[in-house]
Amino acid sequence: MKVNIEQFQKQYANESDCIPLVFRMKWPTGYHCPRCACAAFYIINTRRLPLYECRKCGHQTSLTAGSIMDKSRTPLHKWLLVMYIVSACKTSINAVHLAKLIAVTYKTAWSMLNKVRRTITDLDHTILLSGHIEAKPDIYTRRIFHSTETLQREQSVIVGRTKSSTGPSYYKIKLAPTQLDPRKPLSQAAEDEFRDTHIDPAATHIDIIRKPIIPWGSHPQLRQFAPAAFQWMNDTFHGISASMAQSYMDEYCFRINTKHLTPSQSFELLLGHSLTPNLAKDLAYSNSLLKWAM
């Protein structure tokens, strides 16, 4: 499916183009008051974006209330474009390029990308690996120029995936902060942490390999996945701080995990999740789009 940024920019050129889509994503079953659940409302059109006032209790809410766009002065159509680029384009974008593309400051572009990535991380936390799972430790090395720094810049990660013979696999790469030496076999603490946070307790089969370096030919998908992710990270975001590494890993996995969706499905998945007032609690919409084969 072709991704066309110019066409997207034409389709969502101003706020009035975006409002119907965001309304539908925020309230897929129709407006309901967040305080009393009443479905009847008045529209107040005195601001850039409309306010929706409940006819029963008078509570006012907006399309972006509680979302990553809440209180942002950046127009909705710029936010939508960022989410479209991150979710639908093959290559990512860094803050320098984004700032130019949508005519905002570098600081604003960086903050927008950061919030969109937090949405991706949060979405990933709502999806547990289930069914038949395989996982292994790997070593993330940030791009460095002096070999003596190598060890200091290595971090232990765990890469895991659902093994499916009928549909796409779902992948995760997570930093393993309790694993002190990335070159040693996976510690029990790091393994437990990964299991507790990312694996469905009802999983049918869990195969965790403990060594970071495994022979050629064994677990090929798992073996190749993390190095490809790290290459992409280093190529896209020259120089990555430790605190950002997890977001980039999550973004890479999101791109791979949504490959079987169309660009607009991936975009709507991200937009829908970004609007959830309490991101972690509302799974209904993401589950309706993401039917991971188990």
* Residue nearer to Zn ion on the CB measure, 37 or 213: 37
> Shortest gap between Cβ of 55 and Zn ion (angstroms)?
8
* Residue 54 in contact with Zn ion, rule: CB under 5 A: yes
* Residue 41 in contact with Zn ion, rule: CB under 5 A: no
* Residue 39 in contact with Zn ion, rule: CB under 5 A: no
* Burial call 186-223: b when 16+ CB within 10 Å, e when fewer: bbeebbebbbeebbbeebeebebbeebebeeeebeebb
Interface segment toward Zn ion; rule CB under 5 A; list 15-23, 56-64, 122-130, 150-158: 56-64
Of 38, 65, 89, 175, the one binding Zn ion (CB under 5 A) is 38
* Residue 35 in contact with Zn ion, rule: CB under 5 A: yes
Interface segment toward Zn ion; rule CB under 5 A; list 25-33, 84-92, 255-263, 280-288: 25-33
Of 5, 36, 44, 180, the one binding Zn ion (CB under 5 A) is 36
> Shortest gap between Cβ of 26 and Zn ion (angstroms)?
16
* Residue 93 in contact with Zn ion, rule: CB under 5 A: no
The residues pairing with 41 across neighbouring beta strands, listed in sequence order, are 54
Q: What does the block give as tokens for 46? A: 């005195």
Of 18, 22, 25, 33, the one binding Zn ion (CB under 5 A) is 33
Burial (0-12, 13-18, 19+ Cβ within 10 Å), 163: middle
Q: Which residues contribute to the site for Zn ion (CB under 5 A)?
A: 33, 35-36, 38, 54, 56-57, 59
